Every structure is written in C-alpha cells, then in structure tokens.
C-alpha cells in the first residue's frame, strides 16, 4: 500500500452506533469458553480453515456462532436464509450469517457479556499418554497423532472466572479438558472446543447443561479423571485487567477489544502506571473486536499519527490517533502469540512500526480483513469482508501475521523475557 494516498476519516458507522469491526466474523468461533476471543499457542501460520487460534480469549462476537470464521457456511436456518444466501455467494472464509437472535448474542458479547461456564482454554503440548485412545483428532484434523507423528495437543484450562459455574464445581486452571459431552477434545482446534462449551446459539442459553470430562495430577503425580455437569450462565467479564509484576513493571492485559476496552487502557496508563514504571501490554489470545477500541488503545501510547490504513470496498482510508492524548515516552513491551488476531494485530503493528514498543512472543495469527454487517429484510445479518488493513509502514497482515522483535515460544518464558527487555528500556531524559 505504500505510495497511495489515504483519506483521514473515522471508520464508517453502522446503524444503532455499532462500530466498524475487524474479525466480526473471524472471531466468531475463536472465543474461549469465558467469552474471550483468541488463542494462546496457535500455529505460527493460520491453518487453511482459520480454526487453530487457541484461546485465552475474552468476550466477543466470536463466541456465539460455532462455525463462524471456519471457512464453512452453516446450513440455513429459519430466520437467516437471506444472510446465508449472501454469504454463500461471497465464497469468503471470514464471512458469516446470523439469525436476528444470534446477532443479538453477538451484540451482547461486544458489550462484555456471554453465556458460558466460565473457563478459558488453551492448547498445550501433550505427552504421549495424553494422546490417548485413538479417537481424538490430531492437529491436522485427522484421527490420531499430529503432524510428523507427534501426539495431538491437549486442551488445558487456562483460567477460571471467579464465581462462575466452573469455579463453583471446583475446576482449576491447569486441569486437562478431555471431553465435552460425548466428544473427545484432545487434538481438536480450540475454537471447536469453545463451540461445544458454548452450545447452540439460541438453544443452549442460561440454565442449559453441559458435561465435562477433566483430569488432574494428584500429589503422587498420578493423573485422575472425573466428570462434572455444569449449567451455563450469563456472565460478565473485564476485557482489561491491570497488575504489577514487580518494581518498574505494570502489566495491562487486554483480553478483547469489546466496547469501552480502549478507554480502559487509556485510563490504566494514566492512573495505574507509577512514575518510573514501564508497561507490559499483554495481547496474547486477544482475537480482536472493535477497531475503534484498538485505535483508542493505541492513542494511549502515541502522540497522534497513523495507526493503520484499510481498504473499504476499494476506497483507501486511514485511522489516526488524536494528538496530545497519549504518553509517547512510556517504555512499552507488547506480548503476542498465535492467538493475537485482527484488531490486536492492528495495535501491535502500529506500536511496532512507530517505534513505540518492542514486541515479544510468537508469530501472530494473520487476520487482517475487515468485515461489515449487513442486515437483511428477514432480520438476518450477513458479515461480509469489505477489505484489508495494513500497518503504518504498509505491511499487509492478512495471512502473514506480525513477527515479534524477540521470538519466545514459551508462555512463561515470554513473560520473563518481556520483563527483562522492559527493565532495559529507559524513558527519554
């Protein structure tokens, strides 16, 4: 996109004030069972069907449509025939069709609420003993082991929401999730696991039940498994959390760019970062959300200037941070992984290209397309791709992702390395 002119404009708005969204369809199946978007240890390049972003996700439009963003178009259902027909003609893997009821669920998710059991999950390397019974699907979608004879990757509970159905049942972070209902999940893409945990939109609402098979290592090291039946509930999540990782390090974790998340980041930078401290901006497992929120978050670290460019049905446009709003001297390290997608990649690319942050972790997912919703006469909604965005230097993210400045695959190792890098960054004198 270098050499082209871009008009300075806000993204065009949807009726009822819904903001332009990146990944509106792409995230649809990517959220974790907590309502989060995204993934923790997805492959370095997106799979052909875009389902392998694993989780630590946050509430978002991704969670209510199990097949959104998978490259498959679900069979038409009453109430979404018109949208389904439009999506079928598009041939676009990121497009998706929703009934009016399903789309209302997406709207609620964008506001930070979701129906689920209160856990987020992620893929982890599985020892051979976890590979199991031959019934599990491998990393390549076939039965048995993954690529190159490796055992399939296990699904692990990454976080349990306090007060949630899972928390009340005694589920803990680190437990292995082996099955949802009668479906073994070892080796299954996390997005598909999330779809099982969420159930069928409109049918499996609050109060519906789901049975999980889990396992945990006991004091002796022996692994024991058990079943528990949970009732789904409507839960609220905080898209942005702030904590201290030691002297001089304030971590701001953004799980998803739901409504208000950008301003929460700005407020955290202004009020929660002590003088002399740096920010570790954790975008791991963040599968995107609303573009306006990502731009607002970028403005916390930039004193104006270009954040991204995008193509809107052939018209080149640009997104800018306002001047005089951000702290452009604050040391920043951004943590990313294979589940960092779309609007989160937009923010990462802006801070990297503008020289405002060192990026640490693993290669991001590579979701750079822009979707816009179109409501049909029957009330259904079609999410259709209208273009792609690029970073300030003109890098196209779609299918390529963003390479970190410092590559570290291990989650804990990436956090420690980011802290080390942050300690060496000095604000200008």
Residue 309 pLDDT > 90: yes
Tell me the per-residue pLDDT of 327-336, one tens digit each, with 9 for 90 and over. Answer: 999 999 999 9
Once rounded to an integer, what is the mean pLDDT over residues 143-150? 45
Better-scored residue on pLDDT, 28 or 245: 245
Better-scored residue on pLDDT, 64 or 429: 429
Q: Mean pLDDT in the chain?
A: 76
Confidence class for position 126, pLDDT limits 50, 70, 90 = low
Residue 134 pLDDT > 50: no
Confidence class for position 147, pLDDT limits 50, 70, 90 = very low
Tell me the per-residue pLDDT of 265-285, one tens digit each, with 9 for 90 and over. Answer: 999 999 999 988 999 999 998
Tell me the per-residue pLDDT of 176-185, one tens digit each, with 9 for 90 and over. Answer: 999 999 999 9
Residue 43 pLDDT > 90: no
Once rounded to an integer, what is the mean pLDDT over residues 291-303? 95
| pTM > 0.95 | no
Least confident segment among 92-96, 103-107, 143-147: 143-147
Better-scored residue on pLDDT, 33 or 361: 361
Tell me the per-residue pLDDT of 243-272, one tens digit each, with 9 for 90 and over. Answer: 999 888 999 999 999 999 999 999 999 999
Confidence class for position 41, pLDDT limits 50, 70, 90 = very low
Q: What is the 3-state secondary structure (H, E, C) of the chain?
A: CCCCCCEECCCCCCHHHCCCEECCCCCCCCCCCCCCCCECCCCCCCCCCCCCCCCCCCCCCCCCCCCCCCCCCCCCCCCCHHHHHHHHHHCCCCCEEECHHHHHHHHHHHCCEEEECCEEEEEECCCHHHHCCCCCECCCCCECCCHHHCCCCEEEEEEECCCCHHHHCCCCCCCEEEEECCEECCCCCHHHHHHHHHCCCCCCCCCCEEEEEEEEECCCCCEEEEEEEEECEEEECCCEEEEECCCCEEEEEECCECCCHHHHHHHHHHHCCCCCCEEEEECCCCCCEEHHHHHHHHCCCCCCEEEEEEEECCEEEEEEECCCCCCCCCCEEEEECCECCCHHHHHHHHHHHCCCCEEEECCCCCCCEEEEEEECCCCCEEEEEEEEEECCCCCECCCCCCCCCEECCCHHHHHHHHHHHHHCCCCCC
Residue 390 pLDDT > 90: yes
Q: What is the pLDDT of residue 331?
A: 96
């Amino acid at each position: 996109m270098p050499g082209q002119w871009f008009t300075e404009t806000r993204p065009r708005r949807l009726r009822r004030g819904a903001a332009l969204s990146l990944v509106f369809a792409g995230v649809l199946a990517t959220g974790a069972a907590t309502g989060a978007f995204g993934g923790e240890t997805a492959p370095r390049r997106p799979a052909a069907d875009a389902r392998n972003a694993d989780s630590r996700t946050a509430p978002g439009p991704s969670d209510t449509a199990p097949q959104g963003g998978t490259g498959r178009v679900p069979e038409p259902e009453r109430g979404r025939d018109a949208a389904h027909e439009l999506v079928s003609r598009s041939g676009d893997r990121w497009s998706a069709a929703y009934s009016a009821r399903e789309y209302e669920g997406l709207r609620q998710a964008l506001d930070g609420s979701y129906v689920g059991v209160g856990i987020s999950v992620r893929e982890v390397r599985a020892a051979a003993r976890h590979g199991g019974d031959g019934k599990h699907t491998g990393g390549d979608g076939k039965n048995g082991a993954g690529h190159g004879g490796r055992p399939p990757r296990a699904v692990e509970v990454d976080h349990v929401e306090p007060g949630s159905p899972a928390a009340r049942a005694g589920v803990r972070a680190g437990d292995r999730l082996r099955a949802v209902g009668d479906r073994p999940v070892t080796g299954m893409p996390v997005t598909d696991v999330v779809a099982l945990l969420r159930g069928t939109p409109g049918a499996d609402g609050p109060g519906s039940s789901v049975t999980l098979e889990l396992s945990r290592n006991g004091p002796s090291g022996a692994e024991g498994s058990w079943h528990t039946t949970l009732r789904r509930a409507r839960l609220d999540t905080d898209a942005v959390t702030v904590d201290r990782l030691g002297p001089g390090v304030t971590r701001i974790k953004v799980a998803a760019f739901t409504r208000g998340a950008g301003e929460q980041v700005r407020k955290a930078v202004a009020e929660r970062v002590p003088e002399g401290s740096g920010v570790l901006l954790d975008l791991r497992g963040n599968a995107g959300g609303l573009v306006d929120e990502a731009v607002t978050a970028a403005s916390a670290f930039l004193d104006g200037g270009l954040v991204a460019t995008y193509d809107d049905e052939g018209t080149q446009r640009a997104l800018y941070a306002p001047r005089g709003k951000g702290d452009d001297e604050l040391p920043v390290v951004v943590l990313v992984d294979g589940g960092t997608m779309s609007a989160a990649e937009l923010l990462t690319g802006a801070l990297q290209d503008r020289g405002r942050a060192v990026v640490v972790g693993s290669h991001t997912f590579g979701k750079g397309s822009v979707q816009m919703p179109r409501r049909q006469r029957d009330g259904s909604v079609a999410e259709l791709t209208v273009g792609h965005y690029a970073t300030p230097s003109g890098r196209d993210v779609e299918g390529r992702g963003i390479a970190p400045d410092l590559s570290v695959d291990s989650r804990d190792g990436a956090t420690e390395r980011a802290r080390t890098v942050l300690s060496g960054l000095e604000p200008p004198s």
